[in-house]
Structure 1
C-alpha cells in the first residue's frame, strides 16, 4: 500500500504552529484536535521542523515549569523523519522503527502534505489482516469468488 492511499483515508488537514508560539499553545492544539504532532512553519508549504508530544515531554523533563512558556522553535525537532506519497507502508514502518518515532511527515515536491502516524500503520495492517482472514474463511468454505 502506498502512502498516498493512507492519506486518502485520513483528514487532509495538516495542522501547523509557528516557531514563535509558546509550547503551551501547541499542547492546547494537540488537545483540541486530538493529535500529537504538528508541523512548524511560518507559511503554507514550509517545514522548519516538527513538534510532537514526546518533544514536549522532553522539554518539561529538561526545563521544568519554564517549558510551557518556551517557544516552539526552542524545543522542536529539526531532524524530521520524512517519506513521499509514493513510498510503501513497510518503508514507512522501517523509518518509524529506525528513528524511534511515531510520526513520519509526508512530503510531495518539497512541501509537507500529510502525516503517517503509528496509529495509521496499525489501522491499515489490521484491516489487511482482517481481509486476509476473511479470504481464507471463504476459501476454506468454498465460497471464494474466482
Structure 2
C-alpha cells in the first residue's frame, strides 16, 4: 500500500502551531482535536521548522518540571523530523518509524507537507490487509466468491 492511499482515508488537515506558543497551549490543542502530534511552522501551511509530540511534552516535564507548561514550543520541539514521500510503500514508513523510534512521520510531496502518518494509521491499514487476505482465503477454500 502506498502512503498516498493511506492519506485518502484521513482528514486532509495538518495541524500546526507556532514556535512562540506554549506547551500548555499545545496540550489543549491535543485534547481538543484528539491528537498527539503537531507540525511547528511560523504560519499555517508554512515550512516545517520541527514537530511536537506528546512524548516531547512528557520529556520536557521530566527535564524542566513545573516550568515546562509555560515553555515555548521552540524550546522543546523536535528539529530532526522523520519524513516520507506520498509514493513510499507502507513497509518503508514502518521501517522509518522503527529506526527513528517515532510514532509519526510527515508526508512530503516535493517540498510541501501534505499529511501525517501515525502508528495508528499503520496498524489500521495492516489489520485491514490481514482481514481482507483472510476473507479471500476463506472464499477460496469454501469455493465461494467466484462466478
Show CA shifts across 1:36-77 (max 9, x none).
000000122310000000000000000000000000000000
Match of 2:63 in 1: 62
Structure-2 separation of matches of 1:123 and 1:84: 19
Match of 1:101 in 2: 102
Deviation of 1:145 after TM superposition, in Å, equals 2.4
Matched, 1:83 2:84: yes
Match of 1:50 in 2: 51
Matched, 1:10 2:10: yes
Structure 1 segments, 4+ long, off by >4 Å, are none
Deviation of 1:109 after TM superposition, in Å, equals 1.4
Match of 2:123 in 1: 122
Structure-2 separation of matches of 1:115 and 1:145: 38
Show CA shifts across 1:92-113 (max 9, x none).
0000000000000101111111
Match of 2:137 in 1: 136
Find the residue that maps to 1:115 and give its secondary structure: strand
Match of 1:37 in 2: 37
Work out the number of aligned pairs and report it: 146
How does the TM-score come out when normalised to structure 2?
0.97
Structure-1 separation of matches of 2:26 and 2:17: 7
Find the residue that maps to 2:20 and give its secondary structure: coil
Q: CA RMSD in A?
A: 0.8
Structure-2 separation of matches of 1:25 and 1:84: 30
How does the TM-score come out when normalised to structure 1?
0.98
> Gaps spanning 5+ residues in structure 2: where?
none
